Amino acid sequence: MIFNRLKQQDLGLLFAVITLIGIGLVVLYTVTSSNQTGISTTFQKQLLYGFIGVIFMGIAAIFSPRVHYTFAYLFYIVSCLLLLGVLLWGDETKGAARWIDLGLFSFQPSEPAKIALVLVLARYVTDKKYDPRKPLHIMGTIAVTFIPLTLVLLQPDLGTSIVFAAILLAMLVAIGTPFSYLLLMITPICAALASVNTIVLLIYIIVIILFAWGMHMRMGMLILLIIANLVISLGTPELWNQLKPYQKNRLISFVNPEADPKGSGYQVIQSKVAIGSGGFSGKGLGRGSQTQLKFLPEQHTDFIFSVIGEEFGLIGATGVLALLFWVVYRGFHAALRTKGKYSALICIGLSIIITVHIFINIGMTIGIMPVTGLPLPFLSYGGSFLWTIMISVGLILGVGRRWKEYTP
């Protein structure tokens, strides 16, 4: 019976996931264990997390989408309460309160909140009354997203809030929100980035206006767009001053990591050196000098991809990238095949979570994204995140194997 069950599953996706966790464990073993200290507790913990993660994935796959469709709002409310709780009672590490101590272990409520947001948005927009053309309805999705986003931003956790924003955007695109509304939402963010330089900002505003004009946007919409852009771009310098110094440093060092090579740019430089020096075929497992001599920081968490790049070279990095892409691809594939609108949307949302993590994390290690502290799915050390991703895969599997059924 178990075999029959397994046969129904997306075996390719399962294989990719298990392989990626295996690679993560091997790399973790080489960077944390040595002949002197023996097998590290870090490795043992992650091995345990992996097993638990597989069980969670299985459980998530068992349930029909109908189940979480029903409980989506409940999940969402519980998640928001946990996020509020972590703000009030959480442990502070590195100037950010992200953890809840549950005695046996501690976990980050922002991780399951990602899933909860996907579920609640999917549920909200699949409501029969939802009209993607009504601004009020769009405002609803924004409001739903902004509650957890604000709570996470207050921790402060810039990376996770970017993930939340990405989920919202993906859902709106998937549900068929008119392009002009999307433009109205995205452009202020670009305006914020452009506000660092007055000339850049001016050019940007002109480009936006010409673009909107060319699309024959309605006049009211156009004025709204311009006002939104102006307000945000003028308000950004104020907001900048509100950022924590380490956040500012990370953003600055993203723009120019060599500006402070021993400070916040250090991580990115060392990571680029590690990956670049790996070359085509890498230095070999356990032979990466950047890794083994500890020049590479956070090598078992945020910068684990740098270890892969250094020790396995372009071949290994491409292989890992291909496996990660396969996972995402199967997510979208499930979304396309399923008959339920809600089911499709959660597959898209969950795949977007995985994609955004991959892009931001790997982008950070190769110097095209700022250091935001987002881990790499399946590979980075850490229980809460691994489980979140495993549950996401489980939910995708749950949708995928029911593609013939009529689900919400």
Partner 1 sequence: MLGGISLIAFLFLWIRLYQLQIIQSDKFQARSEANSVRVVEELPGRTLICDRNGRVLVENRPSYSLSLIPYEAKRNPHTISELSIILSRPQSELQALTQNKGLPSYQPVKLARDIDFHTLAAFKAREFHLAGVSYHFDPKRFYPYSVAPHTLGYIAEISESEKKKFPSRKTGDIVGKSGIERQYEDILAGRKGYHYMIVNALGQITGEIEDKYIPPRRGGKLYLTIDLDLQILAEKLLAGKRGAVVALDPRNGEILAIASAPKYDPEVFTGVLRSDDWQKLQNNPDVPLLHRAIQSGYPPASTFKMVTMTAGIEEGLVDEEYRHDCPGYYRLGRIYHCFKRDGHGELTPIEAIEQSCDAFFYKLGHQLGVEKIAHYMKIFGFGSKTGVDIDNEIAGIVPDKQYLDKRYGAGKWSKGLAINISIGQGEILVTPLQLAQYCGILAMKGLKARPQLFLEMHQGNGEVFQSKPEITHIDIKPATFEVLRSGMRLVLSGEDGTAKWLDDPRWHLAGKTGTAQNPHGDDHALFVGFAPFEDPVIAVAVIVENVGFGSTHAAPIAVELMTRYLEISEVPQIVAEEEPADSTGDSASDI
CA-angle at 391, arms to 385 and 392, nearest 5°: 90
Q: How far is the CB of 173 from partner 1 (least distance, A)?
A: 6
Q: Tell whether residue 319 is a contact of partner 1 (CB under 8 A).
A: no
88 versus 293: smaller Cβ distance to partner 1? 293
CA-to-CA distance for 381 and 375, rounded, in angstroms? 8
* Residue list 277-306, contact with partner 1 (CB under 8 A): 277-280, 289-290, 293-295
Q: Tell whether residue 35 is a contact of partner 1 (CB under 8 A).
A: no
Stretch that binds partner 1, among 34-42, 142-150, 250-258, 350-358 (CB under 8 A): 350-358
CA-to-CA distance for 399 and 149, rounded, in angstroms? 27
190 versus 226: smaller Cβ distance to partner 1? 190
Choice from 324, 393, 397, 399 touching partner 1 (CB under 8 A): 324
Choice from 18, 47, 154, 366 touching partner 1 (CB under 8 A): 366
10 in Cβ contact with 330 (< 8 Å)? yes
Rg (CA), the chain: 22
CA-angle at 61, arms to 60 and 62, nearest 5°: 95
Stretch that binds partner 1, among 145-153, 194-202, 323-331, 386-394 (CB under 8 A): 323-331
Phi and psi dihedrals of 311, rounded to 5?
-85, -25
Q: Residue 156: is the preceding peptide bond cis (ω within 30°)?
A: yes
CA-to-CA distance for 305 and 4, rounded, in angstroms? 36
CA-to-CA distance for 220 and 228, rounded, in angstroms? 12
Choice from 46, 195, 301, 355 touching partner 1 (CB under 8 A): 355
Q: Which residues contact 133 (CB under 8 A, 6 or more apart)?
A: 177, 178
Check the CA dihedral 53-58-63-64 and report its sign: positive
Q: Tell whether residue 8 is a contact of partner 1 (CB under 8 A).
A: no
Q: How far is the CB of 88 from partner 1 (least distance, A)?
A: 35
Q: Tell whether residue 182 is a contact of partner 1 (CB under 8 A).
A: no
49 versus 303: smaller Cβ distance to partner 1? 303
Q: Tell whether residue 262 is a contact of partner 1 (CB under 8 A).
A: yes
Choice from 119, 348, 397, 399 touching partner 1 (CB under 8 A): 348
375 in Cβ contact with 387 (< 8 Å)? no
Q: Tell whether residue 272 is a contact of partner 1 (CB under 8 A).
A: yes
Choice from 15, 213, 325, 406 touching partner 1 (CB under 8 A): 325
Choice from 113, 185, 208, 317 touching partner 1 (CB under 8 A): 317
**Single-letter residue type at 250:** R
Phi and psi dihedrals of 128, rounded to 5?
-60, -30
Q: How far is the CB of 162 from partner 1 (least distance, A)?
A: 14
Q: Tell whether residue 323 is a contact of partner 1 (CB under 8 A).
A: no
Q: Tell whether residue 189 is a contact of partner 1 (CB under 8 A).
A: no
Q: How far is the CB of 390 from partner 1 (least distance, A)?
A: 20
CA-angle at 130, arms to 73 and 345, nearest 5°: 60
- Nearest of 28, 2, 103, 48 to residue 301 by alpha carbon: 28
305 in Cβ contact with 361 (< 8 Å)? yes
Q: Tell whether residue 273 is a contact of partner 1 (CB under 8 A).
A: yes
The contact set with partner 1 (CB under 8 A) reads: 170, 173-174, 262, 270, 272-280, 289-290, 293-295, 309, 313-314, 317-318, 321, 324-325, 328-329, 332, 336, 348, 351-352, 355, 358-359, 362-363, 366-368
